[in-house]
Structure 1
Amino acid sequence: MRATPITIKPSTVFSILALALAASTAQAADSKSPCGVPNLHTCPQPFDKVLPAAKNMLTWDQDTRVVGFRNTYRLYEGDVFSTQGATPSPLPAADHLLSNVQYSLEGKRQGLADYLENQSVTGLLVLKDGKIAYEYYGKGNTAQTLWTSRSVAKSVVSVLVGVAIKAGKIKSVDDKITAYIPELKGTEWQDVTLHQLMQHTSGVVWDENYASPDSDFSHMTQCEAKPDPYDCVLNLVKSVKRKPGVKPGEVWSYNTGGAWLIGRVLENATGQTIAKYLESQIWSRYGMQQDGVWHALVPGKVDMGGHGFNATLRDWGRFGQFVLSGGQLPNGEKLLPNAWLARSTHWTTAKGSVTKAAPNGQYGYQWWYNAPAPDADAEPKKTATSEQTFWALGIYGQTIAINPVEHLVMVQWSTWKNAETPSSLYDEQALFVNAVSKALDQKQ
């Protein structure tokens, strides 16, 4: 049977198209409203109008870096990790507040105000026994600011790997990573285990030089600013070579390319992005106060495992409290294997990891050992428990320091002039945490 033709006036067609376009625009606006990020419905503050170019991240001046770091979640595609409306776990004020901290560096006495200035601090939080002993916001940052983590995110991913192992999603850290990322077969990564990847002892050559425009890390930064970042990053990471004669496990060398692969192992093993796994396992269950954003290379599919965690200062602190507890939720459920933190902070002694300042090694499962050099003109170099402190560190001064014995967590946001120099800035961080520990102990 032949259908009867239906005549539609041109004006009607235009009306239908206009309505469809309006609906599509409204839907897109709703998904991005009001912050310009899909599914982020509460705008962090301040919400800067003019943003710097992402491709210039390594050469921003310090004032630009403030704006860039608190708006990194807007500079790239991102996946939101939501609280799912959970009630924030309380962070009450401590009975004894931190007011007077004294330490010496290069023979000069320093106090709290000196530390904030020396470190270009834009946010500082000190938690003692889960209570706020000190909280500071600088350069216009607020309690609603989402600050970018840089490589502190590596430690977050490390914790999520532990969660995935406890949940049976990842069989063992002794698995070869090709079991989870088969496209690495035939590359220099093919015989590397997850244990070696997390300790950065893959033996694969990677230039992490932040000051060189020709380093692998700089090339990765440029990839991330391109319209199709995933293929660019994947091709870069797959193309690197192995130093002749160096086997996996023999040499320690810090490697953000390898850290990105840890994120890919996690995502392929769990079937979720880093952001979604963080949300489903910790963020919505521990009681965080605000949604965060993870830098995505392919939204909803691939996140950046080497960096990209953006969250509030207090939620950084809550994450530190979660780790300090051994991965325990407020209801008592433990999400990490019993020995996971001990294994994560068992420092590798592979060549390059052992130094005068770190005689037992400086790196674990993407956590750092951080202490002043033995010959440094500084005090207090140690406390009774300072050897138990472990660190999540990111360039330009981002920090989570955790001392489980002291029940102490320190979170720091900064915009150092240079990515990692001078090294005395790291010494000063260690001294400051030691001094804070002493100051708070004296008030008990």
Structure 2
Amino acid sequence: MRPITIKKSFNGLSILALALAALAGAAQAADSQGACGVPGLEPCPQPFDKVLPAAKDMLTWDQDTRVVGFRNTYRLYGGDVFAPRGAMPYPLPQASHKLSDVQYQLAGKPHNLADYLANQSVTGLLVLKDGKIAYEHYGKGNTPQTLWTSRSVAKSVVSVLVGIAVKEGKIHSLDDRISRYVPELEGSEWQHVTLQQLLQHTSGVVWDENYASKDSDFSHMTQCEATADPYHCVLDLVRSVKRKPGVKPGEVWSYNTGGAWLVGRVLENATGMTIAEYLQSRVWSRYGMQQAGVWHALVPGKVDMGGHGFNATLRDWGRFGQFVLSGGQLPQGEKLLPDDWIARSTHWTQAKGSVTAAAPKGQYGYQWWYNAPAPDSDAEPKRTDTSDQTFWALGIFGQSIAINPAERLVVVQWSTWKNAESPGSLYDEQAVFVNAVGKALSK
């Protein structure tokens, strides 16, 4: 609230009137945000923590702080609500074959489900088999009404929305240069990059994604998001990046949240809607999600954050996974995605840097990941008959959606790892665990 300047000539009643007016203005401003801290969000997610951490410190929160921060991220920034708008929730009945325990090996040692929850600092875990709940767990005070932030799992959500926009003809072709949709990129190193290259993170621009460095581009983006004018700060940062000399678009794979933000800008300009509006109108209100979610907005109602920022309940994360598992089909049968979209999205790029010992066919598609244990890891089950068909939405600190169409399996995980993406054995454990879950539920 702005300080009130009171002239000495005012009498006591004038002073009281000004003070009351100021309090009324503050109350009106609070009301405009709604009871839940975001305009249009209801009912309020639970728990509704009273004390929130500073957004600018997101990368350095300790694990206990991260629990509170991640389930209240929707309140730390501007936000756009996406709601089911009265749609009948897509049913997630309880499975008759429950997942009671899982056995797997890591570093040559036996582990079970309790070990996994502890090792991964799990705050939410949902296993869907044939669209039925085989296992559901909430930790650290989270509930079925908690909105948990996705981090980069949102990139995969945006990728799906791009597929819908392609089928609707709002995006002409993935071969289009992105400057066709985002003219502000003319004259920058992005101007000749195609949408496909942007989705595959093969733009060739130099972007430092180091989460442990205060001076990385990603860290600077995080600081931008906590400013009074996050849009122009992020735009200036992303537009300022350079290209490594001699590297053309499509030649080198390099993970790039700045580029992922531009995927969101392409989608928004092509559809004339924010990411949240498009998600709500195409999926959230038609597939039948249960609760409203919030998308992190740089300019509420105009510009959302395409690189991260999806906040939703555990079961609605699972429903989104089921939607993708179906190839983008609504319960009534209408197909929202092109027939080959999932296959194209999970055709891993062979650009330099994408192919590794653990991912000999490449590790990245249209903002979906291939995730498998390192070949020299002492882990089991390292592979199953269908594990190569599993594709992943991954976010730092352990967020994930794993989808295996062959097993009709969706596994959703919320976590608060101590570090953003290390040690790498945590990713190995995720992959081995999903393999073990698939084997356990196929018996």
Q: TM-score range by the shorter chain?
A: over 0.9
- Residues 31 and 39, structure 1, Cα contact 8 Å, conserved in 2: no
In the other structure, the counterpart of 2:257 is: 256
RMSD: 2.0
**1:197 aligns to 2:198 (yes or no):** yes
**1:283 aligns to 2:284 (yes or no):** yes
- Residues 163 and 336, structure 1, Cα contact 8 Å, conserved in 2: yes
**1:129 aligns to 2:130 (yes or no):** yes
CA distance in 2, matches of 1:188, 1:207: 15
The one-character-per-residue Cα deviations of 1:262-309 (angstroms, maximum 9, x if unpaired) are: 000000000000000000000011110100000000000000000000
Structure 1: unaligned runs, 5 residues or longer: 1-12
In the other structure, the counterpart of 1:6 is: none
Structure 2 counterpart of 1:259, one-letter code: A
The one-character-per-residue Cα deviations of 1:97-127 (angstroms, maximum 9, x if unpaired) are: 0012100000100000000000000000000
**1:312 aligns to 2:313 (yes or no):** yes
Structure 1 counterpart of 2:271, one-letter code: T
Give SS of 1:136's match: strand
The one-character-per-residue Cα deviations of 1:16-37 (angstroms, maximum 9, x if unpaired) are: 9999989876764444221111
Give SS of 1:418's match: coil
In the other structure, the counterpart of 1:339 is: 340
TM-score (norm 2): 0.95
Structure 2 counterpart of 1:394, one-letter code: G
- Residues 147 and 313, structure 1, Cα contact 8 Å, conserved in 2: yes
- The 5-angstrom pairing of residues 345-384 of structure 1 reads 345-384=346-385
Farther-moved stretch of structure 1 (413-422 vs 35-44): 35-44
In the other structure, the counterpart of 2:100 is: 99
Structure 2 counterpart of 1:249, one-letter code: G
In the other structure, the counterpart of 1:7 is: none
Deviation at 1:346, TM superposition (A): 0.2
The one-character-per-residue Cα deviations of 1:47-81 (angstroms, maximum 9, x if unpaired) are: 00100000000000000000000000000000000
- The 5-angstrom pairing of residues 156-175 of structure 1 reads 156-175=157-176
In the other structure, the counterpart of 1:417 is: 418
CA distance in 2, matches of 1:21, 1:89: 46
In the other structure, the counterpart of 2:405 is: 404
- The 5-angstrom pairing of residues 10-409 of structure 1 reads 28-409=29-410
CA distance in 1, matches of 2:64, 2:18: 46
CA distance in 2, matches of 1:83, 1:100: 34
CA distance in 2, matches of 1:203, 1:387: 28
- Residues 125 and 410, structure 1, Cα contact 8 Å, conserved in 2: yes
Structure 2 counterpart of 1:341, one-letter code: I
- Residues 408 and 437, structure 1, Cα contact 8 Å, conserved in 2: yes
Structure 2: unaligned runs, 5 residues or longer: 1-13
Give SS of 1:338's match: coil
CA distance in 2, matches of 1:340, 1:77: 31
Deviation at 1:165, TM superposition (A): 0.5
Residues 22 and 416 (structure 1), Cα distance of their counterparts in 2 relative to 1, 3 Å cut? closer
CA distance in 1, matches of 2:19, 2:173: 55
CA distance in 1, matches of 2:26, 2:72: 24
Deviation at 1:375, TM superposition (A): 1.1
Structure 2 counterpart of 1:93, one-letter code: Q
Count the aligned residue pairs.
Answer: 433
Residues 20 and 82 (structure 1), Cα distance of their counterparts in 2 relative to 1, 3 Å cut? farther
The one-character-per-residue Cα deviations of 1:123-169 (angstroms, maximum 9, x if unpaired) are: 00000000000000000000000000000000000000000001111
In the other structure, the counterpart of 1:10 is: none
Give SS of 2:58's match: helix
Give SS of 2:280's match: helix
Structure 2 counterpart of 1:304, one-letter code: M
Deviation at 1:410, TM superposition (A): 0.2
CA distance in 2, matches of 1:441, 1:417: 33
- Residues 400 and 410, structure 1, Cα contact 8 Å, conserved in 2: yes
CA distance in 2, matches of 1:28, 1:334: 42
Give SS of 2:188's match: coil
Deviation at 1:39, TM superposition (A): 0.8
Give SS of 2:294's match: strand
Give SS of 2:127's match: strand
Structure 2 counterpart of 1:271, one-letter code: G
Give SS of 2:320's match: helix
CA distance in 2, matches of 1:163, 1:186: 29
Structure 2 counterpart of 1:244, one-letter code: P
CA distance in 2, matches of 1:23, 1:66: 34
CA distance in 2, matches of 1:80, 1:413: 21
Structure 2 counterpart of 1:257, one-letter code: G
Structure 2 counterpart of 1:422, one-letter code: P
CA distance in 2, matches of 1:24, 1:414: 39
Give SS of 1:405's match: coil
In the other structure, the counterpart of 1:3 is: none
Give SS of 2:435's match: helix
